[in-house]
């Protein structure tokens, strides 16, 4: 494993914390602290409680991670709304 390799996990946002941080429970049951990636902040992608996300973690610290992708679809808020053309 090289130094630049990151581990990717699927998880669910359990709690939205101050300063753009999130408490995420991974698919294997481990709870970590995560933050949104720079691209997500730049494109103003909102992450809410109950969203399914992909988290990237360093192999050196498995208690913290970076949210790199928010999955669309059914979450805590129900099905995704249909897109309409104007």
pLDDT digit string, tens, across residues 61-81: 999 999 999 998 755 556 666
User: What is the number of alpha carbons within 13 Å of residue 34 lying toward its C-beta?
Assistant: 37
Model pLDDT, residue 83: 74
Q: Which domain holds residue 16?
A: 5-68
pLDDT of res. 5: 87
Residue labelled with tokens 């933050």: 35
User: Residue 57 domain-assigned?
Assistant: yes
Is pLDDT at 3 greater than 60 in this prediction?
yes
User: Does residue 46 fall inside a structural domain?
Assistant: yes
- The answer to whether 52 and 73 have CB atoms below 8 angstroms apart is yes
Give the model's pLDDT for residue 28. Answer: 94
Q: Is position 61 within any domain?
A: yes
Maximal C-alpha separation, the chain: 49
**Which pTM was predicted?**
0.79
Q: Tokens 């249909």 map to which residue?
A: 82
CB-side exposure of 49: number of CA atoms within 13 Å?
4
The count of domains in the chain is 1
What gap in Å lies between CA 44 and CA 56, rounded to an integer?
19
Q: What is the pLDDT of residues 17-30, one digit of tens each?
A: 999 999 999 999 99
């Amino acid at each position: 494993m090289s130094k630049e390799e990151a581990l990717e996990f699927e998880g669910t946002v359990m709690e939205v914390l101050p300063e753009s941080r999130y408490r995420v429970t991974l698919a294997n049951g481990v709870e970590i602290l995560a933050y949104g990636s720079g691209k997500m902040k730049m494109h103003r992608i909102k992450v809410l409680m109950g969203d399914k996300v992909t988290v990237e973690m360093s192999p050196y610290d498995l208690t913290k991670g970076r949210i790199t992708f928010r999955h669309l679809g059914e979450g805590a808020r129900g099905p995704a709304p249909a897109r309409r053309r104007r």
